[in-house]
Amino acid sequence: MDTIDRGSRPDLMADCGSCVGLCCVALAFARSADFAFDKPAGDPCVNLEDDFRCGIHPHLRDRGFKGCTVFDCFGAGQKVTQSTFDGRSWRDDPETRAGMFSVFPVMRQLHELLWYLDEALRMPAAAPLHSELTRASAAVEALTASSPERILETDLEEVRGPIAELLREASRMARSGLPALPTTGKTKRVGPGADLLGADLSGLSLRGAELRGALLIAADLRGSDLSFAELIGADLRDAELSGADLASAIYLTQVQVNAARGDARTLLPPNLQRPSHWAS
pLDDT tens digits along 194-245 = 999 999 999 999 999 999 999 999 999 999 999 999 999 999 999 999 999 9
- Are 187 and 202 part of one and the same domain? yes
DSSP 151: H
- Are 61 and 169 part of one and the same domain? yes
Name, in order, each residue with C-beta under 8 angstroms of 209's C-beta and a sequence gap of 6 or more.
181, 187, 190, 226, 229, 230
Whole-number Å distance between alpha carbons of 253 and 255: 5
Q: Using CA of residue 236, residue 218, residue 193, residue 35, what is the dihedral sign?
A: negative
Give backbone dihedrals phi and psi of 210, rounded to 5 degrees, phi first: -90, 100
Residue 238's domain is classified under what CATH number?
Answer: 2.160.20.80
Q: Which amino acid is at 193?
A: G
Inside any domain, residue 1: no
- Are 150 and 229 part of one and the same domain? no
Inside any domain, residue 4: no
Whole-number Å distance between alpha carbons of 165 and 156: 15
Which pLDDT value is given to residue 228?
97
Given a cut of 80, whether residue 80 has pLDDT beyond it is: yes
Name, in order, each residue with C-beta under 8 angstroms of 212's C-beta and a sequence gap of 6 or more.
168, 171, 192, 193, 230, 231, 232, 233, 234
Nearest to 81 by CA among 157, 169, 180, 11: 11
Which pLDDT value is given to residue 220?
98
Name, in order, each residue with C-beta under 8 angstroms of 180's C-beta and a sequence gap of 6 or more.
none
| Domain total in the chain | 2
Among the three residues 175, 206, 224, which one is the final residue of a domain in this structure?
175
- Are 145 and 252 part of one and the same domain? no
pTM score, two decimals? 0.95
- Are 137 and 190 part of one and the same domain? no
Please calculate the CA angle 251-167-208 and round it to the nearest 5 degrees.
Answer: 55
Which pLDDT value is given to residue 94?
80
- Are 227 and 170 part of one and the same domain? no
Inside any domain, residue 219: yes
Inside any domain, residue 61: yes
Instruction: Tell me the CA distances in angstroms from 74 to 19, 240, 241, one per residue in order.
Output: 12, 24, 22
Mean pLDDT of 142-158: 98
- Are 82 and 142 part of one and the same domain? yes
Residue 253 lies in domain: 180-280
Helices 130-144 and 156-175: angle between axes, nearest 10 degrees: 150
Which pLDDT value is given to residue 85?
97
